[in-house]
Structure 1
Amino acid sequence: MTDQPTASAEIPLEDLVGSWLTVPDIAERWGIPLSAVRKLIEDRELLSLRIGERRVVAVPTQFIEEEVFRHLRGTFTVLADGGLDDEEILRWLFTPDETLRVSGTPVDNLAAGFKTEVRRRAMEQAF
């Protein structure tokens, strides 16, 4: 199993991800009902976390970009099958990994079109 860098493990997940959108924000951006956004979260097409002082349900902003969104469900499945819970999945996706093709995080690599490499790395989490 690949260990995550200690430095990123010490950063609160809310800060590691950085930019978040609430359910109403996503509904407005996509022009869909709130119930449709909640269904995407329920169906694990999106992962959410309760953030901020009011503990509102929010989704990482990068997840709603089309080039990332279309690769999320399968990537979530691979990581969950490897034993990671939702918070660990989010931390893994947003932890910088300079060994990936595109410098940055696994989610940056999904945005750049390197789904196969990211999922291969995700499968390594299971071992």
Structure 2
Amino acid sequence: MGQVSAAPIDDTTLSERWLTVPDLVDLLGVSPGRIHRLFEQKTLLPARVDGVLRVPVEFLDDAEPLPEVRGTLMVLADNGFSDDEAVRWMLSVEDALGTSPIAALRAGRKAEVRRVAQSLL
């Protein structure tokens, strides 16, 4: 299993809905092991919310991981962000973007989001 920061996300309002591993198994129609591989590959990224690994629904497009998320999460990991820090950044309003990075990704602004992510230290 991939590393998940011990510092929990305490603001559950960052996402409109948080999905647990069992939720993801049902939604994606795959095994729990496959969900954990998606975490390791940074195709999806969980945060610890209320002591449970959860993924924000915004990281999904219908019943699939949003493809633009992975590259951005890789950039954040390369910049030393923990999983929880990366999830928090993706869901919080980023001044340089005028919106949250995940909203910008969903609006087709992938290059801009990654440029901002690369500038973070």
Q: Which category describes the TM-score, using the shorter chain as reference length?
A: 0.7 to 0.9
Which residue matches 1:51? Answer: 49
Query: Once the 2 structures are TM-superposed, how far is the Cα of residue 18 of structure 1 from its aligned partner?
Result: 4.2
Q: Encode CA deviations 1:39-69: one digit per residue, 9 max, x unaligned.
A: 11122211112222xx222111111226972
Which residue matches 2:10? Answer: 12
Which residue matches 2:39? Answer: 41
Which residue matches 1:7? Answer: none
Point out 4+ residue stretches in structure 1 off by more than 4 angstroms: none
Give the TM-score normalised by the residue count of structure 2.
0.79
Higher helix share: 1
Contact persistence 1:13–1:91 (CA under 8 A): no
Contact persistence 1:68–1:107 (CA under 8 A): no
Q: Distance in 1 between matches of 2:80 and 2:40?
A: 19
Letter in 2 for 1:88: E
Matched, 1:88 2:85: yes
Q: Distance in 1 between matches of 2:17 and 2:78?
A: 27
Based on CA coordinates, which of the two structures has the bigger radius of gyration?
1
Contact persistence 1:93–1:107 (CA under 8 A): yes
Q: Distance in 2 between matches of 1:13 and 1:81?
A: 25
Q: Encode CA deviations 1:50-106: one digit per residue, 9 max, x unaligned.
A: 222xx2221111112269720111111111111211121112111113542xx5211
* Aligned-pair Cα RMSD in Å: 2.2
Matched, 1:111 2:106: yes
How high is the sequence identity, in percent, across the aligned residues?
38
Contact persistence 2:44–2:65 (CA under 8 A): no
Q: Distance in 1 between matches of 2:30 and 2:119?
A: 36
Q: Distance in 1 between matches of 2:81 and 2:118?
A: 11
